[in-house]
Structure 1
């Protein structure tokens, strides 16, 4: 256990130490300032603008920014859907895979365009190299860049400094933000991580699959392919979709302790950096640190619950000759153990990543409860690249609104009044998760065509449904492995949930940013509630937990909590 605690400390220190300078770099990048990479990448950036007919100096208001974002993502979905449907007729398909069925192609295309990377298929048994590279890997970059771009635009709205409101028509330029996110941020980091993973033994080739004979004399097919590059961006872009079906539990994706640590650190690197980018852009680093602290407290609480539950083992094995000194090892790689598995599970669901190095379906009920709740609150505990931060800003709006009620004056944040319009838009964004999880989940829990996908009955069966629709709506992508999602019903409904979770969140947050940018900044007074201290951090954490608890506790009580109670009583279903 002491080694696990040391791992957690080293991990948190490493992520913080890397995220701080990266956040400062991102602040310069999205402010249009010169960076260390500008001499090399600046000419390439300008070439893209000329080729696309883009004026990098032309700003966009929130509506035009949102329209550009939605149009780009719609075209990306159409292209990816076509690739998946037609892959049997396209090159770089040495395995001879045919095209995906319409419902599975719809689900997969939506999944990767929305940065969810939900996988209702087996990567090495379903997709060609062309589909993996030109289809999925490209979307890994541009879907992550979309979240980063929107995050930068929302921050500009919150940070707008013009006293005359002239910033109202300039949240930035989506095409410029998208280009810079890919060219200066995601691509260089991915190249570095790819080279590191290749060094650690992850394959990066276009070779045909290899047939091998096992020690028992059986025949086994060993998959090959350009895995390292996709794994790098799947982690850095909080995408999560693995090259192989079992994701980072596969030695080919995650062969060594160093690769495991690097991949875990990459999950939270850019989301954590957003808090420091925010502090620099609003010219008050204490504001960014306060949000980082709130995220960190929630993260450590979830990690403590997951690790504690998994370390205790399974009470149903207490009277059996099963050694549980190492904790609940079902579904976990022996080389990682409980500590690294719990840390990865917490990080991947705190961020909208969804990659796994263990099977969450085999976690104890309370061990799976924390990852599930992290997704249900909107994955704002660091969250996806960009999306997690603007998701947390929705909670900030609600928090300062409640604080304003307590002090008896109009709430303010960063010198701008939070009024009815902003609160209503924040509530719309918040209601996306209950719609996708509870309403869609209720349909999946009652219709016979949906219930056929469950592996288990009773509370765990309900947990499978809750986890799936929390993951889809939260744009996470992880799943309980026993849930058979590859059916027309679930492919379609989960796809719709992903669209809601992505775009019905983006539009209200851009609208809030546009509204705040148009407002004049007011000077702080004796009645202004400070938003950079311990009291605000505590209140923000409480709002996230209370709103999440009030919304999802009844469903969780019937799922993982009921299952945990039954486990302690020695009952099975």
Structure 2
């Protein structure tokens, strides 16, 4: 019952915020008057003048892609230099050394791609300057970039006989100024009021009641936590991420941070429906995501609320009592318990957030399969800010194409004919993560450098390797742990996976946008496929699950499923 209550409270709050926030997002990207305009319009106009940008000049999809790649490359170089020479910058009370080339490359690749994979402990590796001016800045930039691409794709759908899809610099800046910055400021203030720290202190040495000396870290945490959740970033200030009491002190902050993870990705579906003048279709996409999310969440919850058979041989009572629920508490935060741990794990991997408030490596085999499967489906069950929307639209394009083949009719999507080019681009977007996940994992298990980093053998060790490449390729950033990933081999290989999947997919999505924008809009007829009916929702969900399972079921069989049967044989 607690699992039902927590889930529907979370989704209920998301539903309540859909309309006001969705309408606000539409006004921001449509350049309509908004409440914060008086505050931010002068800043926006000043930045355009400094950068010599004409906000009224639009771009082709090629120009849009070049501008996006240029901005990302500049961000990569800047972040790499900050990390490589962090000892020369101020706000380094811990006197941390410069980072190695491979680790700086991995972190820079991770944060410009909105992945936020962390193969290091933040509180013992990065200065306050690197955390603020390096990581937190990129959290804003990379998140707004994903939203800009989604908006560019929407323009391609609604425009006709036109080859321009908007101005990247305008979309990018407005997403930061009018959406991410105000929401992050409000959330940071609330989190700070609840005990999430925000200071420039160095580590403080304290002695606890048991006379044990502890080093308690400080830093500007609340500001980074707010954008890491709202922007689907996920990288924590501390190594323990959102299980750390300085990032997530109590049940209220846990709920608000989990809500923040889902808020913008879900709202973008509603905003999409408003922009294409078909709200029912936007809600149909959101409902499709939710119909896949809920069963998988409850399956993981059911698995974790069972006894861990490997612990049954130890003097540990895993049965339910009057004061606590029974089940697998290994790796769970006692402040949040199994329900809120599983809910967070599901939300953070269904989106591309990647933050954790429990250790996924300690989940039961089938319980840990669920976060893995969410990412393998392509980060479309809500997905990241903007990225979740354009990713599920790729599956919608495939769905209408397959439906058109079944009835012998040229497939159409919201008035645009879907032809060979769109199908090729969509298929390539889906194939790119598959290639990097499977090839990257294969190279790793065939390499001595990859095997040497494993702390577990058998199916569990293979699951950790697969999870690392799925997380990097899905631009998620969460980790299964148990794998020493801070080596040149893993830092470079995972960094390449992040870059290929982020920018390879983005360029192809922009190409689809340009192709659709140049087409005429076909009038709706009685033969037009309805894209908001219950049949379409079920068909779309079936295509998503079919492609995901067909692609990865052999891998899942060798990893968590194999481990499950091994555990059953030990019972």
Alignment of 1:46-57 (within 5 A): 46-57=45-56
Give the equivalent residue in structure 2 for 1:117. Answer: 116
**Separation (CA, whole Å) in 2 of partners of 1:399 and 1:20:** 27
Find the counterpart in structure 2 of residue 552 from structure 1.
552
The alignment partner of 1:431 has SS state of: helix
- Contact persistence 1:348–1:354 (CA under 8 A): yes
1:256 partnered with 2:250: yes
Query: Is 1:239 aligned with 2:238?
Result: no
Map residues 20-169 of structure 1 onto 2, 5 A cutoff.
20-160=19-159, 162=160, 165-166=161-162, 168=163
How far 1:566 moved relative to its partner? 1.1
CA distance in 2, matches of 1:465, 1:159: 42
Task: Name the SS of the counterpart of 2:355 in structure 1.
Answer: coil
CA drift at 1:315: 2.4
Cα distance between partner residues in 1 of 2:370 and 2:544:
14
1:212 paired residue number: 206
Shift of 1:525: 2.1
CA displacement 1:120-142 (0-9 Å, x = unmatched): 11000000010000000000100
For normalisation by structure 2, the TM-score amounts to 0.98
| Contact residue 407 and residue 527 of structure 1 kept, 8 A | no
Aligned residue number for residue 292 of structure 1: 286
Q: 5 Å matches for 1:322-333?
A: 322-324=316-318, 325=320, 326-333=326-333
Q: For residues 305 and 446 of structure 1, what CA distance do their matches in structure 2 show? A: 33
Q: Which residue of 2 aligns with 1:179?
A: 173
Please give the root-mean-square deviation of Cα atoms over the aligned residues, in Å: 1.0
Instruction: Return the offset for 1:378.
Output: 1.3
Give, in angstroms, the shift of residue 319 of structure 1: 5.1
- Equivalence for 1:395: 395
How much has 1:490 moved relative to structure 2?
Answer: 0.4
> What is the rounded CA distance, in whole Å, between the counterparts of 2:429 and 2:295 in structure 1?
25
Q: Does 1:410 align with 2:406?
A: no
TM superposition shift of 1:320: 4.4
Question: Does the alignment pair 1:568 with 2:562?
Answer: no
The TM-score, its normalising length taken from structure 1, stands at 0.97
Alignment correspondent of 1:265: 259
**Per the alignment, in what secondary structure is the counterpart of residue 206 of structure 2?**
strand
Unaligned runs of 5+ in 1: none
Deviation at 1:465, TM superposition (A): 0.7
Report what 1:471 is aligned to: 471
Residue 221 of structure 1: SS of its match in structure 2? Answer: strand
Offset at residue 292 of structure 1 (A): 0.4
**In structure 1, distance between residues paired with 2:447 and 2:362:** 25
- Verify: 1:378 aligned to 2:378, yes or no: yes
Name the SS of the counterpart of 2:305 in structure 1: helix
Query: Contact 1:441–1:465 (CA<8 Å) still a contact in 2?
Result: yes
1:310-351 CA deviation, whole Å, 9 max, x = no partner? 111312334543222221100011111110000000000011
Tell me if the contact between 1:377 and 1:433 (Cα under 8 Å) persists in the aligned partners: no
Matched residue of 2:214: which SS? strand
| Separation (CA, whole Å) in 1 of partners of 2:368 and 2:15 | 26
Pairs aligned (count): 565
> Which residue in 2 is equivalent to 1:224?
218
